[in-house]
Each structure stands twice: as structure tokens, then as C-alpha cells.
Amino acid sequence: MSMQPRRWTPPKATPRARETRSVPPLPPVRRLELPGTGPEDVVVAADGRVLTGLENGAILAVDPESGTVEQIAHTGGRPLGLHAEPDGSVLICDFGGGLLRLDKPGGQLEVLVSEVEGKPLNFPSNVVADTDGTIYFSESTRNWPLQQYMGDMLEHSGTGRLMRRDPDGGVEILIDGLDFGNGIVLAPDRSCVLVAETGGYSIRRHWLTGPKSGTTDYFAENLAAFPDNMGLGSDGLVWVAMVAPRNPLLDMLLPLPGILRQLVWAIPEALQPKPARTVWITAYGFDGRLVHDLQHEGTDYAMVTGVAEHNGTLYLGSLSETAVAVVQVP
């Protein structure tokens, strides 16, 4: 599809963006092999199993001890972000289907949101829910399909959104103009909701209560990598999947005339810049303090797009791998 590049001058990358491992490094991962590719997001269900969705449309429940895999649903599309409810139901951001709800493992799928303001939901990305039935979900881009997500990274379209679905079904746009809206975390005290802005190397914060209610600011910015899905850990921290380090070529092209990015997009995909292979996870307190910065080279796993922490164990998902990765927080 045609590209209309938007010029943007990114903040200067920190030295951390050029490093390939942290101190201490992330320990080696254990792989839980799956019958398919692309477990893009991971969440821990109430029964302790790890839920993920594959590129073939399957929703799987994986026993982290035995590795036993059960298919609990099939969306017919491409499941991305997930949210596990205490009652066993699952919210699903499905590329091709919209925002879905699975009532129970093996149960019925219901479409909750398929369009916003009269237009189809293009790229639903991540989702969380409050106990009162309020749902927060993101849309990465209104311009590009999943298969061409790099097109939005180059275009820098600024068409991502954070939205809220009320229990009565009404949808409100909380933040518009995100540079690839992605992972979401709701603060335990409901004071704010966080959304990853992958193309902006940042995490935005939208205030829900208090004197700043209804306003948006930055929770973390000028990150050393592209933040993807996020999750609230059992430790109360905001865990962030860092899919790849910042790309120096992209940083160089973004402020320049858009024709240069159009030329890059026009060359064969095999020759276009590729995300560097790495396994990188960070975690923040709600005061914005960086608590964990864990990385190692992408030899045993790579392209980490999802993370869930539960009782000191990290479960990782990936857009390109055929397994969920398991690693202990050092």
C-alpha cells in the first residue's frame, strides 16, 4: 500500500541501545514448544496455565510444568493481545475479528468491538479489564495490516489509539495519535492506565483519577528499544517486552524527507532492515523507577513481544518463535 511518511525527530539514543546484554544478564530461557508459530502475547490464567495465541488463529493453554498444550479456542483470525479474567473467560485482540471475549476454555466467542466511530477496528493490539467490566484496549495503526507492520514503523503514521469500552458497550477514545499503540497496564489503584508507544520509544500514561484525570503524560520515554506488550506482574511491577533495540538507520531516516523511507519500503523485503535478535525485558515501579533491565543475545529465543511475571517466573511470547520461553527473575 502507499506510504505517506510523517517526519519526526527522535530523541538521541542512549548508549544502552547499543548493548547486547545487561548486567546481570537475563538467565538462559527454557522453551515450551508449541504446535505452531508466533505466540505473540502471554498471560497467566487463574488455573496457572499460560495462555497464548498463534498465527494460525489458535488460542492455547500451556501447563508451564509439564509443557502440555490444550487448544481452548480458534478465532479464525490472528490473536494478538490477551487478558485472562478470574472467572476463566479471556479477552482477545484479534486481527481480523476485533475485540473478542471467550466465555470459558472451549466455550463461545463473542465480538465485543468490531468498529469504532463507524469504521472497522483495523489493528487491535492489547487489552486489560477492570473488575467492573470496563475494558481498555489499544489499536496499533489505522493505516497498515499486521503483515506490513513495518510499514507503519517507516511511515510513522501516528494513527494508534487507546480506547475504553464501558460495561454498557460504549467506546471512548482516550488517546489518539499514538505512534503504534501497543501493550496496556491498568494501575492496581485505578489511578491511571499505561500504553506502550512502540514507534515513539515510550510508555504513555493516561490519568483516570485525581487532579490530572483525563490528561496524558509520559510514564517512560527515550527507551533504548521498541516496547511491545506489557503486563502487571504478581510483584506489582509493570513488565515490558522490548522486541528489538532501536534501529540507527530508522532513527536517521525519520527526520529526513519522506521519499527516502518510501524508497526503503519499495526495495524487496529481504533487503529491508531487520530487527536485531535479542531477548530483552524491563520492569518499572509505578513511580517510573526502572527496577529490572534484563537482556541477553538472541541465540535461544528472539523477538520478544509478550511478557507475564508470576511469582518470580517470567513467561515470554514472540512474534516469530514456535515456543513460549520460561525464565526465572534473577
Domain membership of residue 3 (yes or no) is no
Q: Which residues pair with 62 in a beta bridge?
A: 50, 69
pLDDT of residue 156: 97
Tell me, what's the pLDDT at 21? Answer: 96
Is residue 9 left, alpha or beta, with left meaning phi > 0 and alpha meaning psi from -120 to 50?
beta
Structural domain includes residue 7: no
Q: Assess contact for 104 and 51: CB atoms under 8 A.
A: no
pLDDT in the model for residue 271 = 80
0.95 exceeded by the pTM? yes
pLDDT at 155: 96
What's the domain range around 111? Answer: 15-328
Examine residue 323 and state whether it is found in any structural domain, yes or no: yes
**What is the model's pLDDT at position 222?**
98
| Residue 263 domain flag | yes
Number of domains in the chain: 1
In a domain, 39, yes or no: yes
Residue 104 lies in a domain: yes
| Residue 175, C-alpha cell as written in the block | 488517546
CATH number of the domain where residue 124 is located = 2.120.10.30
Give the pLDDT of residue 195: 98
Local confidence pLDDT in tens for the 330 residues of the chain:
789 999 999 999 999 999 999 999 999 999 999 999 999 999 999 999 999 999 999 999 999 999 999 999 999 999 999 999 999 999 999 999 999 999 999 999 999 999 999 999 999 999 999 999 999 999 999 999 999 999 999 999 999 999 999 999 999 999 999 999 999 999 999 999 999 999 999 999 999 999 999 999 999 999 999 999 999 999 999 999 999 999 999 999 999 999 999 999 999 988 887 889 999 999 999 999 999 999 999 999 999 999 999 999 999 999 999 999 999 999
> Which position has the grid cell 499514538?
178
**Could you tell me if residue 181 is inside a domain?**
yes
